[in-house]
Homo-oligomer: A and B are copies of this chain.
Amino acid sequence: MNPVLVNVLRGGAVESFHRGALAIVDADGAVHTTLGDVDRPVFPRSAVKALQALPLVASGAAEHFGLSDEQIALACASHRGEPLHAATAAAMLARAGLGESALECGTHWPYDEAASRQLARQRKGPGALHNNCSGKHAGFVCVGCLMALQAGREPAEFVRGYVQPGHPVMREISAALQAATGCDLASAPMGTDGCSIPTFGIPLRQLARGFARFGSGHGLSPTHAAATRRLRQAVAQAPFMVAGTGRFDTRVMQHFGERVFCKVGAEGVYCAALPTRGLGVAIKIDDGQGARAAEVVMAAVIRALAQRDEADAAVLRELVNVPLRNWNGIEVGAIAPAEGLRALS
């Protein structure tokens, strides 16, 4: 039974509450904090995109195709489909000589409602570039195109089917995930993610260790360690690319820069690296719909472990205790840490 980590308050009463688990460990797996069951396999979904982006840099594809910080950051993103996100994904594909049709992530309207309505106003519909995973997939396509060039194969033909578990590209991505987390993926539960690539059940303890390694390079191969530095620098330079206007990850990393790398995943998962502390963080909210709760837990973790001064505190204050306003702008409640998180403070 996982503890209640976050309460949702209305009129002073607890209206709803979210249970979950949290692991904070170092790159050797030594525990800083665990709450709840951190050994149950959890599908990390998009929270591990940065680990899945390691081959983009480690293979030399990012350098070969001359990708910018913005483009490398987008490979780690669950973006909101804003115009700059879609354009950046298109530019990545163009660098590799391909177009939108190479993407196998599927199509959905931009998560950003203003961007969706802007498309509608222009009498346009969404394409695969607007899929929140288009940057990650464009990165996969770049990895595949370099593989094709090195093997003397036709790139468009070679990359086709890259979302399948047995494709050379996806084998490389899964190998990077396994190396970082230390989890044997061959024996892990496997599902299909929203964007059609495999997702593996990995315990929070090992996800957190993967992100401790991502934050320091410690425990990784030299090429992967170098890749983590490049990815962290790129994201710190272009945090808008990782999420979008007003989003938690963008807001936090715009302020903290390389001091915090954090990334949301679907179904209530959150991961982070705290390089100044040598720690990695992994969170899962049981109910999977508690993105609001996972954010509050992550904000509380950052406050406890990475907050340095009043400027940091000012950024975190409304992320740890989130005011809830209704359609008339009246403050009607809050999302706030519960007793179960007290161990952090």
Known contacts A1-B1, A117-B116; A191 and B287 CB within 8 A of each other: no
One of A57-65, A72-80, A103-111, A239-247 at the interface: A103-111
* Minimal Cβ-Cβ distance residue in B for A190: B11
Residue tally, chain A, CB below 8 Å to B: 57
Enumerate A79-128 residues with CB–CB distance to B below 8 Å. 104-109, 113, 116-121, 123
Provide the A198-210 mask, 1 if CB < 8 A to any CB of B, else 0. Answer: 0101000000000
Task: Kindly list chain B residues whose C-beta atoms are within 8 Å of the C-beta of A291.
Answer: 289
Is A16 within 8 A of B288, CB to CB? yes
Q: With A116-B113, A287-B289, A287-B290 in contact, do A327 and B17 touch (Cβ < 8 Å)? A: no
Taking CB atoms, residues of chain B closer than 8 Å to A123 are 121
Q: Which residue of B lies closest to A268 (CB)?
A: B16
Chain B residues near A190 (CB-CB < 8 A) = 11
**Of B41, B117, B194, which contacts A327 at CB under 8 A?**
B194
A12 part of interface (Cβ distance < 8 Å): yes
**Are B332 and A10 neighbours in the complex by a CB distance under 8 Å?**
no
Are A11's CB and B194's CB within 8 A? Answer: no
Q: Is the CB of B106 within 8 A of A192?
A: no
Alpha-carbon distance between A12 and B43 when the two chains are bound, in angstroms:
12
Nearest B residue to A131 by beta-carbon distance? B327
List the B side residues contacting A193 at CB < 8 Å: 326, 332
> A19 contacts the other chain (Cβ, under 8 Å)?
yes
Query: Is A311 positioned at the interface, with any CB of B under 8 Å from its CB?
Result: no
Contact B289 A16 (CB under 8 A): yes
Provide 16 A-B residue pairs closer than 8 Å at the C-beta atoms, listed in order of the A residue. A8-B288, A10-B191, A10-B199, A11-B191, A12-B189, A13-B41, A15-B267, A18-B289, A19-B287, A105-B328, A106-B327, A116-B116, A192-B332, A193-B326, A195-B326, A289-B289
The 7 lowest CB-CB distance pairs between A and B, nearest first, are A16-B288, A106-B327, A11-B191, A289-B289, A117-B120, A10-B191, A287-B287
